């Protein structure tokens, strides 16, 4: 059975990606979450209601041992399973102007958004290389492409993932593994709930926030077999914000 692992798939963009990959490509979805088990189960129920399959899997992407243990146990329990697709989606923000930024908020954002990419990808990449096929899509941000004031920590994390995307893409291209990034602008999720929407919309030529489904559509395209010659790319989904 071929699986797609989506980190942070309990809510928001990750949940939309999980549902879309099940529907478009028939993957059995590994729905990772950190703390919100009820939301992860709700994502699974929606996948099943649409005729798809999935499992939920708890781990904190920032904790390498937790990630490794969960993936090792998964392979032990499912010896025939192949994780063909990895979507590194889990991420957090702790916004503040740099002069007020606490060391803890710098480190937490890097631990989840940058080290989380390393932890999840390193847990599955060896098997992917052996299978000589794979799709990795990293959810970054306009913040990592052009920098956003008040987000030096988040911009650093997402910019770091973009660099790693380009590097890893070149390492594994020969094995039919593509590694790309998707960089959303402002998307309607819990992450952006507290932002001053009316003010921010003025920065967006499309005059609206995007939807999680619009991001999921782009991810599904990059995951498709037909997208096999696209690698090391960053696809911006931001309603025309210059980046």
Residue from 3, 27, 33, 154 carrying the catalytic annotation: 154
For residue 70, what are the contacts with CB-CB under 8 A and spacing of at least 6? 57, 58, 59
Helices 103-113 and 115-131 cross at an angle (nearest 10°) of 10
Work out how close the CB of 31 gets to ligand NAP at its nearest, in angstroms, rounded to a whole number: 9
Interaction of residue 35 with ligand NAP, rule CB under 6 A? yes
Catalytic residue at 154?
yes
Which one of 33-41, 95-103, 121-129, 227-235 is the stretch in contact with ligand NAP (CB under 6 A)? 33-41
Quickly tell me which residue has 């490509």 as its tokens.
Answer: 25
Q: How far is the CB of 173 from ligand NAP (least distance, A)?
A: 24
Q: Which of 3, 4, 5, 8 binds ligand NAP (CB under 6 A)?
A: 8
Tokens standing for 78? 């499912």
**Rounded distance between C-alpha atoms, residue 29 and residue 171, angstroms:** 26
Least Cα distance to 219 among 61, 22, 20 occurs for 20
Instruction: Please tell me whether residue 243 binds ligand NAP under the rule CB under 6 A.
Output: no
Question: 184 and 211 in contact (C-beta within 8 Å)?
Answer: no
* Residue keyed to tokens 């619009």: 214
CB of 128 to ligand NAP, least distance (A): 20
Task: State the Cα–Cα distance between residues 108 and 88, nearest whole angstrom.
Answer: 17
Binding track over 81-120 against ligand NAP, x by CB under 6 A: --------xxxx-------------------x--------
Q: Confirm or reject binding of residue 10 to ligand NAP (CB under 6 A).
A: yes
Q: CA-CA distance, 101 to 103, in Å (whole number)?
A: 7
Residue 54 makes contact with ligand NAP by CB under 6 A:
no
* Catalytic center residues: 154
Contact residues: ligand NAP, CB under 6 A: 7-8, 10-14, 32-36, 39, 60-62, 89-92, 112, 139, 141, 184, 186-187, 189-192
């Amino acid at each position: 059975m071929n699986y797609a692992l989506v980190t942070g798939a309990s809510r928001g963009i990750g949940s939309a990606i999980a549902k879309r990959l099940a529907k478009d490509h028939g993957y059995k979805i590994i729905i990772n979450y950190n703390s919100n088990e009820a939301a992860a189960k709700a994502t699974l129920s929606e996948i099943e209601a649409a005729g798809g399959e999935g499992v939920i899997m708890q781990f904190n992407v920032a904790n390498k041992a937790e990630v490794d243990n969960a993936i090792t146990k998964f392979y032990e329990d499912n010896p025939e399973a192949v994780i063909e697709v990895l979507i590194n989606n889990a991420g957090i923000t702790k916004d503040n102007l740099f002069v007020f930024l606490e060391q803890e908020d710098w480190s937490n954002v890097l631990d989840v958004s940058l080290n989380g990419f390393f932890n999840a990808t390193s847990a599955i990449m060896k098997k992917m290389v052996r299978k000589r096929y794979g799709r990795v899509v990293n959810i970054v941000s306009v913040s990592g492409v052009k920098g956003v004031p008040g987000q030096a920590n988040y911009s650093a994390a997402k910019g770091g993932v973009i660099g790693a995307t380009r590097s890893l893409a070149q390492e594994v291209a020969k094995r039919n593994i593509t590694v790309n990034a998707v960089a959303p602008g402002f998307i309607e999720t819990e992450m952006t709930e507290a932002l001053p929407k009316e003010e921010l919309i003025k920065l967006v030529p499309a005059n609206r926030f995007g939807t999680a489904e619009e991001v999921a559509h782009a991810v599904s395209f990059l995951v498709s077999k037909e997208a096999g010659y696209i690698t090391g790319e960053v696809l911006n989904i931001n309603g025309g914000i210059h980046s």
